[in-house]
Amino acid sequence: MEDSIRVLLVDDQELVRYGFRLMLEATPGMIVVGEAGDGAEAIAAAQRLRPDVVLMDIRMPGIGGIEATRRITDAHPHTRVLVLTTYDLDEYAFGALGAGAGGFLLKDTRPDGLIAAIRAVHSGDAVVSPRITAKLIEVAAPHLGVRHTTASADDAFSELTAREREIFILIGRGETNSEIAARLFLSESTVKAHVGRVLAKFDLRNRVEAVIRAYELGVVGH
């Protein structure tokens, strides 16, 4: 199917990959284009297959998920990486976010949650659940390498339009483009354009960093 989201599965456990493949291939609008058992294979597969989304495990032999994420996102900016992490949100997952991943997902997430997360990352949203946003802010900032608030960040915030400030705050609260669109009575394409301008003004790579920046500037509470 031409409009299907093309997914690359990366996990060192073949049984895990098999389960994901069965689930995704049974989902309309999803197609698994390949699998990889470690980071080196993932990098080569991403180069060869050019997937839309990479479902990336963290702990693998050889090149791990963090370095693989960094190399893939550097070489292929339009490929989104969705990181798999453990229940306690270990520091390796936050490192992968800093390497350019578009979000993270708990390995025990329900199938419908996985599908929704893949679609969200593919559309440019960050997968940052409101339930764990506070934990993200508490633990992630030192690992993400996002600068602490500076005069330039304050200047960037002052340069936002009123609408962009609204959207920036909602991003900080973990809302997706569709949720923001519904709240502000805008189209998703309009919200996406505003989000792009917000990221550009702050010189941020993705929405995850925007969440961190919103907390650092104090425009959303802990």
- Of residues 87 and 161, the one with the higher pLDDT is 161
CATH 3.40.50.2300 residue ranges for the chain: 5-127
- Of residues 103 and 12, the one with the higher pLDDT is 12
23-44 tens-digit pLDDT: 999 999 999 999 999 999 999 9
CATH 1.10.10.10 residue ranges for the chain: 149-217
21 pLDDT band, cuts 50/70/90, is very high
Fold of 149-217: Arc Repressor Mutant, subunit A (1.10.10)
Q: How far apart are CA 63 and CA 2, in angstroms?
A: 32
Six token digits for residue 141: 């900032």
**Cα-Cα-Cα-Cα dihedral sign, residues 70, 74, 75, 77:** positive
Model pTM score: 0.71
83-136 tens-digit pLDDT: 887 755 666 766 777 788 888 777 777 888 889 889 888 887 777 655 555 566
Q: How far apart are CA 168 and CA 153, in angstroms?
A: 13
Q: Could you tell me if 167 and 180 are in contact, meaning their C-beta atoms sit under 8 angstroms apart?
A: yes
The CATH number corresponding to 5-127 among 3.40.50.1370, 3.40.50.2300, 1.25.40.10, 2.40.40.20 equals 3.40.50.2300
- Of residues 112 and 10, the one with the higher pLDDT is 10
Residue 20 has pLDDT above 70, yes or no: yes
Dihedrals phi, psi of 220, to nearest 5 degrees: -130, 150
Highest mean pLDDT among 130-144, 146-160, 188-202: 188-202
pLDDT (mean) for 171-180? 82
Six token digits for residue 210: 């925007």
Q: Return the SS3 of 221.
A: coil
